[in-house]
A and B are shown apart, each in its own frame.
Chain A
């Protein structure tokens, strides 16, 4: 059940929203979609779901396209949250689940369990408009997963939630993955992607700038971070060859170095200068990679 995008392009008039995007989204894993606002994430999702037609290229899932005949296998949480404001939570969820090919009895049972899991069992007979934004989002999430989809697409699932609810939803996402669901989600919060995804893709202006396994991406990025805390001034490190970034933080500093060997040069430079309290060589964070890749192409 691998989802494959091959050379997919979408143009709106003269504007290219997605530009020759090729991706392979492995099954039973969580795939992260990163990108600044307007990078083409939602458009890509809509093309995967068949809501809009790609201008060129093709999308296949399990050796076929995604059409309405497969909608019971797919769950979708759109970025723009929306439910019927005047309808009761339970009626609403049953209706949406039936549209995804579930029968009412089964749906009722699942609704019970999910509401329990999200600790909101008493919302069943409340109108959606009476719930808080965060709780509406939980209901919306339930509507996307209720029918046990094989492929789950979550567009910014954690935006606008408090940390407790983010954790709750993250846990649910991980559980779904373990139960065998392939999940694609987009975010501009790097730490979420870093925590959850094995594979990811960074989109910029419709083009994939980074794509692959998280570990490989980090390794091939090459650059590392060095954190140093000493009792003496560190400004001189700025001019060392191989140091690409320097950021002073009071008595310590953060350096970005071209590769891990540079760290050893720095260490020997520091040697004998005074008291070294911390010397740490770190993997680059996804945030660094994102800013580097997306930021660079802005220039």
Chain B
């Protein structure tokens, strides 16, 4: 048992210390930081273009009350500094040309006695600002019109209040979450699916490479004379798993912090359904990551033990990679139709379930027993695969020569068994 941990430690340490691990982790983390903070970053550049950050706006009108009303409405907006009737209309226009003001608004009385607005803008004017200005003006106009029509304030307020609107999910049989909920989790589930897919593939091939490296450098024979192939195989799997968990938690941690800091009303993260991260979804993600990893890692170690040259390792594990890719494509399809029969069925098939059951758990409200059943199948598959894998591994590590086909599984099996 002690030797098992020495091997786990060695596998973990040698990978963590490697340059490639350091660089990939750093690049990934930087990328995540960038994505979650993209809004802030974009705004930062916007600020640069606008100079000081606040726009100076002059409001001019012959009707003193209109000017004050608009001034108040605009002042409540962020990033605007408003000056009311400091200058007259022509002076304001000149001031904008000279750059003293960013823009100026002149209110005149129209034919119907209601205000007509003209905006003078400089070079840096933005469409968003004009739109905001228009909205404020509209409010002012409504207030003035209402006053002239002698509508009382309470009525006006009642008209302006938005209608209460709520969607209630009643389709209990399908177990679908309300479309709002679904949209909220979709983003998270998608991100997690992608992480699962990527990490299982990455760490799976890492294990196959690790085993193949030890075989091709022939250090394997010393190793198996010290430590039994079975504990060796699981030491490798555990070592890489620790590495995976470290990387995974770094990514999730940075991602979570980034989302926490940047989510808020109207942030784009909310639009993608990433604003409200449910910890239960993360927990399921970690569970399915561990199980999915164990399944594919066992397969990878088994396949890796069959090749004698490093170059053959990729070829050997390609069937495994195809399995993961298929699982991923099914799950992408499932994102849009999580309650289809096809998805339900595939969520019980071990090689697909880590991705697809996770998708269902994330997107739907499914009964617990379904999750347990699927996890049960998965665990059973892992155990069976580990048992076969240990046997193949034991024979495979002593097998040298040109071996890139699955037929060698049989040879390895024979080599490890006692013949009479």
Q: Are B225 and A85 in contact (CB under 8 A)?
A: no
Q: Are A85 and B10 in contact (CB under 8 A)?
A: no
Complex Cα gap A76–B6 (Å): 19
Residue in A closest to B221 when the chains form the complex, CB atoms: A78
Q: How far is the CB of B13 from chain A (nearest CB, A)?
A: 10
Q: Are B225 and A51 in contact (CB under 8 A)?
A: yes
Complex Cα gap A13–B218 (Å): 24
Contacts A83-B219, A99-B3 given; indicate if A68 touches B420 (C-beta within 8 A).
Answer: no
Q: Are A82 and B221 in contact (CB under 8 A)?
A: yes
Tell me the B374-420 residues at the A interface (CB within 8 Å).
398, 400, 414-420
Q: Are A68 and B227 in contact (CB under 8 A)?
A: yes
Q: How far is the CB of A185 from chain B (nearest CB, A)?
A: 15
- Please indicate the chain B residues that have their CB under 8 angstroms from the CB of A82 in the complex: 217-222
Q: Is B161 an interface residue (CB 8 A)?
A: no
Q: Are B419 and A11 in contact (CB under 8 A)?
A: yes
Residue in A closest to B217 when the chains form the complex, CB atoms: A82
- Partner-contacting stretch, out of A52-60, A201-209, A250-258, A287-295: A52-60
Q: Are B225 and A95 in contact (CB under 8 A)?
A: no
Q: Is A181 an interface residue (CB 8 A)?
A: no
What band does the interface of chain B fall in when counting residues whose beta carbon is under 8 Å from A? 20 to 34
Residue in A closest to B219 when the chains form the complex, CB atoms: A82
B-contact 0/1 string along A63-77, CB 8 Å cutoff: 000001001001010
Q: Is B145 an interface residue (CB 8 A)?
A: no
Q: How far is the CB of B153 from chain A (nearest CB, A)?
A: 79
Tell me the B204-234 residues at the A interface (CB within 8 Å).
214, 217-228
Complex Cα gap A51–B7 (Å): 19
Q: Are B219 and A71 in contact (CB under 8 A)?
A: no
- Please indicate the chain B residues that have their CB under 8 angstroms from the CB of A76 in the complex: 221-222, 225
Contacts A82-B219, A95-B10 given; indicate if A55 touches B419 (C-beta within 8 A).
Answer: yes
- Pick the residue among B217, B223, B226, B418 that contacts A53 (CB under 8 A): B418
Residue in A closest to B414 when the chains form the complex, CB atoms: A13
Tell me the A77-99 residues at the B interface (CB within 8 Å).
78, 80-85, 87, 95-96, 98-99
- Please indicate the chain A residues that have their CB under 8 angstroms from the CB of B225 in the complex: 49, 51, 71, 74, 76, 78
Q: Is A188 an interface residue (CB 8 A)?
A: no
Q: Are A55 and B418 in contact (CB under 8 A)?
A: yes
Complex Cα gap A111–B254 (Å): 43
Residue in B closest to A143 when the chains form the complex, CB atoms: B222
Complex Cα gap A84–B14 (Å): 11
Q: Is A46 an interface residue (CB 8 A)?
A: yes
- Please indicate the chain A residues that have their CB under 8 angstroms from the CB of B226 in the complex: 68, 71, 96, 99-100
Which B residues have a C-beta under 8 Å from some C-beta of A? 2-3, 6-7, 10, 14, 214, 217-228, 398, 400, 414-420
Which A residues have a C-beta under 8 Å from some C-beta of B? 11-13, 46, 49, 51-56, 68, 71, 74, 76, 78, 80-85, 87, 95-96, 98-101, 143-144
In the assembled complex, 7 residue pairs joining A and B whose CB atoms fall closer than 8 Å, in A order, are A13-B414, A46-B398, A51-B225, A68-B226, A80-B400, A83-B217, A87-B14
